[in-house]
Structure 1
């Protein structure tokens, strides 16, 4: 295990132990009836015997044991999003371990917060679960979606890209251009999830709608930024593989190629882009990391197109 995995394991065990210590410490002071259910506002709307708090801790122990067992399963028994290859198996196994151990840590943290909330409401110290409880739910969704995307990304790791053309040599027949990723765009995607957080902290019950909507939102964003993204130029096609975008453009259909900073939505996770216009009036924006090399290759393979930028221009 890596150092990070050891840290997560130790913290998870400490959180489970802290939950037990908390229950034992407050057990003599708990009333006969304690909350066993909370509504979306965090208000207690169901009560049961105080012994039910041991059932809550028992669920935590079960989840801890279950997730721990999953981390020890042979790789052949796991359900992978893509079939591991010899060159990707190690990275996929590491990514899956990080995902599972991260989930275990968050589950134990959620358990501790819930236990503290139950006892605090039972003793009259809290009116209900604090809005901060929603943060654990969002964190679990984020780690689950991001972790699965990480495993998927590790499984689709591209083979070593072909060498670029030398000073006097030709391009290979198939050339892969990795997609550039903008930290600015990544930072902007973090703004929408903050809105339901703010609403939850203000006690707005409708915040739960935004928190639930974060699931598909994080799926799209995570898939876009974590899927191995590239643009493959073959002798006949430009293949675009970015996020959920998976389509081809025949090189003979390309009429114009030019650099751009156009910010509209497109299969381009960076603002440093290339606009590709086709014979049907469509404009596709892409963001290859080597923009000049990408334009130079299209200049060579699309003699019918007007190509701007790169190492020169042709009109």
Structure 2
């Protein structure tokens, strides 16, 4: 799948996730208690409560995170790479980095919104969060590995030419 197509699909999915969360809040707002859990410890037990209006922070935070990641994704030349970016490897490295960022956007929005939905349900199983966070780290590791490999392959080609 092309980098642009993946970027557009994940952008739309992220916006739909945020919109779905807002629609969920609107639909359940009247049934929510005035005090809701807003933070959970590592075992999924609420350790901080707030007014139900604080649940609006998740979609706002999600939009801010999404905007920041979308902005960063548009300028891969500003990123720090583990290999030298040359004319020969630039396109490949930027494509790998952008695909990595697309997946991270989707997983990050999932983490952000999971807390709000879990709080509304009164329970917060931690396994979805751990799966999403693991997904972010796996994506980072595979992306950096792919960038490193793309940069080294180009360097090896230049050495073979001499």
Residues 78-99 of structure 1: CA distance to partner in whole angstroms, max 9, x if unpaired? 2222220111000000011011
Aligned equivalents of 1:40, 1:111: Cα separation in 2 = 15
1:159 matches 2:157: yes
Instruction: Tell whether the 8 Å contact from 2:6 to 2:102 is kept in structure 1 after alignment.
Output: no
Q: Which runs of 5+ in 2 are unaligned?
A: none
Q: Which runs of 5+ in 1 are unaligned?
A: 164-173, 175-315
Distance 1:88 1:111, change over 3 A: same
- Secondary structure class of the residue paired with 1:159: helix
Distance 1:4 1:139, change over 3 A: same
Distance 1:140 1:74, change over 3 A: closer
- Secondary structure class of the residue paired with 2:157: coil
TM-score (norm 1): 0.46
Aligned to 1:32: 34
Q: CA RMSD in A?
A: 2.1
Aligned equivalents of 1:150, 1:162: Cα separation in 2 = 21
Aligned to 2:141: 145
- Identify the structure with the greater helix proportion: 2
TM-score (norm 2): 0.86
Aligned to 2:99: 98
Instruction: Tell whether the 8 Å contact from 1:36 to 1:46 is kept in structure 2 after alignment.
Output: yes
**Pairwise CA distance, 1:134:** 1.5
Structure with higher Rg: it is 1
Instruction: Tell whether the 8 Å contact from 1:16 to 1:60 is kept in structure 2 after alignment.
Output: yes
Over 6 Å off, 4+ runs: none
Residues 107-151 of structure 1: CA distance to partner in whole angstroms, max 9, x if unpaired? 112223222101101xxxx3x335233211111111122222222
Instruction: Tell whether the 8 Å contact from 2:35 to 2:49 is kept in structure 1 after alignment.
Output: yes
Instruction: Tell whether the 8 Å contact from 1:92 to 1:154 is kept in structure 2 after alignment.
Output: yes
